[in-house]
Amino acid sequence: MKKLTSKIKKGTYENIFMDCPYCGRECIFNRISDLKTIMPITQDLKCEYCEKIFWASYDRVTEAKYKWFLNDLSLLKKNKNYGLYILALCQACEIFMHQAIINKLIDINPEYRNDEGYFYHNNKICADAYNEIYNSFCEKSLKDITKNELDDGIKYKKCTFDKLRNLFLWVYDDARKNKLPSLVKLREDKIEKNFCILKNTDINKTRNNMVHKNAYRPSIDDIQKYKELVKCLYWMGSYLDVKDSVEYLNRRKKPNSYDVEIINI
Ligand SMILES: [Zn+2]
């Protein structure tokens, strides 16, 4: 019998949702437990009800982890999971700030590349070098990372929301003042507006209020309050070109340039 294909209805960070093409019931596959991959799926799936085998089409994964969390928000809102919405949005914010910091200070930083443009550290190259560079960065304090401009002895690996935000604002001060060549055409008021939204958001306080002893239950009004923050994260991710580090790992960084070229190794 010819194997049927089913189109994915919704693909989220955790799960994919699709209707079985044989019995029509909705199946939910967990990416880690059932599919055992975080990449787009290319495998046979078995219906959990009629146990027939089918094929999935249109799985997409995003190029940045924070975007998964943002993309999941519409489903959480539709299902009225306002608590999970706040958790996902707060996590999107933290992952975004972390990734943006790492992109700028490590991934595109020529300091960590050899003459050919590869990551290089202690006689190691590419992924091995990168892991060492990343791990030693996590051990540094904010004070060391910012060469005393932020007077904070906390190690990067221990940083949570407020500390990450302080570092993010320090790292992207040039972008905020519109000095990056890639940002020169942008309207300054839009840049300032978005930086202010991130600088002033209290999403982390709402999140803390939920997960600790108060067990605060957010309402639809809480969700509406963060509409601008969601837009801001999409906007910043695009204009600061924030991507997962793996995008940079096997690419060669051209000297004196923000561009990267793909090479085959
Ligand atoms: Zn079925």
* 216-243 average pLDDT score: 95
40-73 confidence digits (pLDDT tens): 887 889 999 999 999 988 887 777 899 999 999 9
**In a shared domain, residues 137 and 184:** yes
- Mean pLDDT across the chain, nearest whole number? 89
CA distance 102 to 265: 23
- Domain co-membership, 201 together with 160: yes
Same-domain status, 86 and 47 = no
pLDDT reported for residue 259: 47
Find where tokens 């910091």 sit. 101
In the prediction, which pLDDT does 258 show? 47
Spatial distance between the Cα atoms of 256 and 111, rounded to a whole number of angstroms: 11
Asked whether 16 and 68 are in contact (CB, 8 A), the reply is no
| 80 and 200 assigned to the same domain | yes
d(CA 56, CA 238) in angstroms, rounded, equals: 29
Say if residue 26 is in the same domain as residue 128: no
Distance in Å, CA 216 to ligand 1 centroid: 40
CA of 175 to the centre of ligand 1 (A): 52
Q: How many domains does the chain have?
A: 2
Q: Which tens digit of pLDDT belongs to each residue from 70-98? A: 999 999 999 999 999 999 999 999 999 99
11 Cα–ligand 1 center, Å: 19
Say if residue 36 is in the same domain as residue 121. Answer: no
| Alpha carbon of 166 to ligand 1 centroid (Å) | 51
Which of 93-97, 144-148, 231-235, 241-245 has the lowest average pLDDT?
241-245
What is the distance between the alpha carbons of residues 132 and 138, in angstroms, rounded to a whole number?
10
Q: In what order do the strands lie in the sheet with 44-46?
A: 4-7, 53-57, 44-46
Q: Quick one: average pLDDT of 178-197? A: 74
What confidence tier does 183 reach under pLDDT thresholds 50, 70, 90?
Answer: low
Q: List, for residues 6-17, the tens digit of each pLDDT value.
A: 889 888 889 999
Same structural domain, 143 and 170: yes
172-186, 205-219, 220-234, 238-252 — which is least confidently predicted? 172-186
User: Are residues 28 and 144 part of one domain?
Assistant: no
Per the structure, the complete domain to which residue 50 belongs is given by 4-57
For ligand 1, the distance from its centroid to the CA atom of residue 26, given in whole angstroms, is 8
Q: Quick one: pLDDT at residue 63?
A: 74
pLDDT attached to residue 164: 98
Which pLDDT belongs to residue 264?
38
Please state, in angstroms and as integers, the Cα–Cα distance from residue 226 to each residue in 57, 65, 166, 207, 264, following that order: 33, 20, 20, 12, 43
Residues 44 and 126 placed together within one structural domain of the fold: no
Give the DSSP letter string of the chain: -PPEEEE-SEE-SSEEEEE-TTT--EEEEEIIIII--SSPP-SEEE-TTT--EEEEE-----SSHHHHHHHHHHHHHHTT-HHHHHHHHHHHHHHHHHHHHHIIIIIT-GGGB-TTS-BEETTEEHHHHHHHHHHHHHHSBHHHHTTTSS----BGGG--HHHHHHHHHHHTHHHHTT-SGGGTTS-HHHHHHHHHHHHH--HHHHHHHHHSTT-----HHHHHHTHHHHHHHHHHHHHTT---THHHHTEEEPTT-S-EEE---
Distance from Cα 14 to the centre of ligand 1, integer Å: 21
pLDDT of residue 177: 82
Q: Higher pLDDT residue, 10 or 166?
A: 166
Q: How far is the CA of 47 from the centre of ligand 1 (A)?
A: 5
Whole-number Å distance, alpha carbon 51 to ligand 1 midpoint, is: 6
Average pLDDT over residues 107-111: 92
Residues 49 and 74 in one domain: no
Q: In sequence order, what DSSP letters do the residues of 74-118 get, joined into one string?
A: HHHHHTT-HHHHHHHHHHHHHHHHHHHHHIIIIIT-GGGB-TTS-
Instruction: Kindly state whether residues 166 and 53 are assigned to the same domain.
Output: no
Are both 160 and 245 inside the same structural domain? yes
Q: What pLDDT score does 180 carry?
A: 61
